[in-house]
Chains A and B, each alone.
Chain A
Amino acid sequence: MMMNHSLKSLCKVSPGTPINGKWHGNQYKIIKELGYGANGIVYLTSHNGVQVALKMSDNGMSITSEVNVLKSFAKVQGSTLGPVLLDVDDWMSGSDRISFYVMEYIKGPDLLTFIHQRGESWISVIVLQLLSDLQKMHENGWVFGDLKPENLIIMGPPPRIRCIDVGGTTINGRAIKEFTEFFDRGYWGLGSRKADPSYDLFAVGMIMLNIAYPKRFTKTTGGMDQLKLMIEKSRELSMYKGILYKALNGQFSSAVQMRGELLQSLQTQQTRTTTKTKTKPSPQRQHNVSQKTVTRQAYRKKSNKGGIIETLIVLSVISMLYFLYIWLSF
């Protein structure tokens, strides 16, 4: 949308076009467009029969900048943060030089689509996975920045979240490079745009609000008041209330801390459900809420009936005693 027209026309490449790297000599055949944004267009391509994603831009510096981040991510042991970087090169399209990089093709639905398809029970799983990845990024001095559902793809099976688009990824302590208003704490008047771990954690909170409100919502009063109200109004979010307030208020200093508290609240909620299940086994947990109210009403009715019976018993006992008294007095 923000992309200028020259980039769009310059980088519009039809399926079947071979992209030849000027420096490394690799060839990539365009299969289809995967998406585009402010920084370029991403294509699905084939290289020696393997499917890989190729991002191109007429702005070589933005390509270089993203490559820098991906190279740094590659050094982090034991996990894959962002897509794996495979190649960096220039493509000469006529007299124009178009810079591109090639990365692992991350196949799967984006976060909102995934939750929509597979159900709410996946929210906590996905958020826990995301927080682990963010923790690793933060430990390595990076803040992801432009965290939003479109930049989160769920691979699988088994389902595993992956961050794409490192265009906003910023060195901790610097000004955030790129952001999207809805997920930006500055927009809501809840903090600065200086990159720190809690900047990303705010965005995680807003991603959860985005799950509850797929169309998002615009700022009215802004601030915590408006966000609190939106959380209160949502049924899906009620179990995450405490964590959301803290994330949006910037009260978590690290992803691992937020992850820990999320796990803990899930556990207490689980034990609560199990004790409930013990007293009255419910075949369908999803209908818990409605069932609970039904049961309570039934209980109230029963106790009303019980009251009448009690009164009758007391009355009959009293009358029996009365007859006994009369009988004895004779």
Chain B
Amino acid sequence: MKTGALRQILLITDGCSNTGEDPIAMAALAKEQGITINVIGVMEKDIIDEQGLTEIEGIALSGGGVSQVVYSQQLSQTVQMVTRKAMTQTLQGVVNRELQQILGGGNTVEDLPPDKRGEVMEVVDELGETVELNVLILVDTSASMKHKLPTVKEALLDLSLSLNARAGENRFSVFVFPGKRNDVEKLLDWTPKLESLTSIFAKLTTGGMTPTGPALREALTYFKKKRSLRSLLSGDDESFIEESV
């Protein structure tokens, strides 16, 4: 089975958006374009407020992804887990659609008897190992995130360690919001390695509003740009994987 690259946005934030478009609507828009949105809520000792929590879960739900709220100490382990989980979830969706074409009707893996599910799982595992993965990382740099940024940097380096253990290709890009001039600012263009983050993160300044919605909207355009450029260069039309679940 051949699939195109998986496209994910990983949003790392510690609370509620307070300006611009509704981020949940932007997440739904992303899903329509075949881009999955995962959200990680970073807590301090205090608990994230109810409103923030609802938004975090809402974005992931309508973005077809996974969300998780964690204390900053657990960030590394969570970031890689969430990314992998969302990847498997998407691939499962792909395999399920394929199965439905073979089996007909609304049949999914789960409708097969347990003994027959194993082989399907092997296909999902194999795809998870080999598929190309593009992750756009979107980091909230509003004032409250200031002392969490070193942990975020560690977690992202750890993520690239995890994903680069796969046989499949990875591409990462990193954006922060709010940017100096715009809602969102590019820190790192598409690259297979995140090591260069270390020096860039040291120079980051925090402050300002939390324009989560506008940041998501703009992030989507960076996938488009890359896609059109690549299809121009290679000339083949890649079948991008659509929504999951």
B204 within 8 A of A: no
Is A198 an interface residue when CB atoms closer than 8 A count as contact?
no
Indicate whether A186 sits within 8 Å of B114 (C-beta atoms), given known contacts A175-B163, A181-B77: no
Interface status of A133 (Cβ within 8 A of chain B): no
Proximity bits, B154-170, A CB within 8 Å = 1, else 0: 00001001111111000
Please state if B115 and A88 are interface contacts (CB–CB under 8 Å).
yes
Q: List the B side residues contacting A88 at CB < 8 Å.
A: 114-115
Residues of A56-74 at the interface with B, using a CB-CB cut-off of 8 Å, are 60-61, 64-65, 67-68, 71
Which residues of chain A are within 8 angstroms of B76 by Cβ–Cβ distance?
Answer: 181, 187
B92 sits at the interface (CB 8 A): yes
- Report whether B161 and A2 are in contact in the complex, using a CB–CB cutoff of 8 Å: no
Residue interface bits B108-126, CB-to-A below 8 A is 1, else 0: 0110011101101110110
Q: Judging by beta carbons under 8 Å apart, are A67 and B165 in contact? A: no
For chain B residues 58-96, which have a beta carbon within 8 Å of chain A? 68, 76-78, 81, 84, 88, 92
Instruction: Confirm or deny: B129 has a beta carbon within 8 angstroms of a beta carbon on chain A.
Output: yes
Across the two chains, which residue of chain A brings its CB closest to B95?
Answer: A61
Nearest CB of chain B from residue A8's CB, rounded to whole Å:
14
Give the residues in chain A near B162, CB-CB below 8 Å.
175-176, 186, 193
**Complex alpha-carbon distance, A49 and B185, angstroms:** 64
**Interface flag for A194 (CB, 8 Å):** yes
> Are B129's CB and A60's CB within 8 A?
no
Contact B118 A64 (CB under 8 A): yes
Q: Which residues of B contact A195 (CB under 8 A)?
A: 165
Q: Is the interface of B mostly helix, strand, loop or mixed?
A: helix
Cβ–Cβ contact B163 & A60, under 8 A:
no
Q: How many residues of B contact A (CB 8 A)?
A: 29
Verify A2–B78 contact, CB threshold 8 A: yes
Q: Is the CB of A175 within 8 A of B165?
A: yes
The answer to whether B161 touches A64, judged by C-beta atoms less than 8 angstroms apart, is: no
- Residues from chain B with a CB closer than 8 A to the CB of A180 are 77
Report the separation of the CA atoms of residues A35 and B78 in the bound assembly, to the nearest whole angstrom.
Answer: 21
Q: Are B165 and A176 in contact (CB under 8 A)?
A: yes
Enumerate A175-212 residues with CB–CB distance to B below 8 Å.
175-178, 180-181, 186-187, 192-195
Residues of B within 8 A of A194 (CB): 165
B110 A68 Cβ-Cβ under 8 A = no
Q: Given the known A-B contacts A61-B109, A68-B118, are A187 and B166 also in contact in the complex, defined by CB atoms under 8 Å?
A: no
CA distance A60 to B88 in the complex (A): 12
B-side contacts of A177, CB under 8 Å: 84
**B165 and A23 contact, CB distance less than 8 A:** no
Decide yes or no whether A97 CB sits under 8 A from chain B. Answer: yes
Answer yes or no: A174 CB below 8 A from chain B CBs: yes
> Residue A68 contacts which of B122, B161, B164 (CB distance < 8 angstroms)?
B122
In the complex, chain B residues whose CB is within 8 Å of the CB of A175: 129, 162-163, 165-167
Residues of B within 8 A of A67 (CB): 114, 118
Q: Which residues of B contact A71 (CB under 8 A)?
A: 118
CB distance A192 to B161 under 8 Å?
Answer: yes
- The CA of A187 and the CA of B166, in the complex, are separated in Å by 17
Which single member of B77, B118, B158, B166 contacts A174 (CB below 8 Å)? B166
Q: Are B121 and A61 in contact (CB under 8 A)?
A: yes
Bound-complex Cα distance A171 to B128 (A): 12
Whole-angstrom CA separation of A175 from B117 in the bound complex: 22
Residue of A61, A178, A181 with highest tally of chain B CB at under 10 A: A61
Identify B114's interface contact among A90, A173, A176, A187, CB under 8 A. Answer: A90
A45 at the interface (CB under 8 A from B): no
A177–B109 CA distance with the chains assembled, in angstroms: 21
Partner of B68, one of A2, A174, A192, A193: A2
- Complex CA–CA separation, A88 to B117 (angstroms): 11
In the complex, what residues of B have CB within 8 A of residue A176's CB? 162, 165
When the two chains form their complex, are residues B165 and A65 in contact, meaning their CB atoms are under 8 A apart?
Answer: no
Pick the contact of B81: A2, A89, A187, A192 (CB < 8 A): A2
Question: Nearest CB to that of A66 among chain B residues?
Answer: B121
Binding site for A on B (CB under 8 A): 68, 76-78, 81, 84, 88, 92, 109-110, 113-115, 117-118, 120-122, 124-125, 129, 158, 161-167
A-B CB contact pairs (8 Å), 12 listed:
A2-B81, A61-B124, A64-B117, A88-B114, A90-B110, A174-B125, A174-B129, A174-B165, A175-B165, A175-B167, A192-B164, A193-B161
Pairs of residues from A and B, 7 with the lowest C-beta to C-beta distance, nearest first: A175-B165, A193-B165, A88-B114, A175-B166, A194-B165, A64-B121, A64-B117
**Using a CB–CB distance below 8 Å, which chain A residues touch chain B?**
2, 4, 23, 38, 60-61, 64-65, 67-68, 71, 88-90, 97, 99, 171, 173-178, 180-181, 186-187, 192-195
Besides the known contacts A68-B118, A176-B162, A180-B77, 6 further A-B residue pairs in the complex with CB atoms under 8 A apart: A60-B109, A61-B121, A64-B109, A64-B121, A175-B162, A192-B164
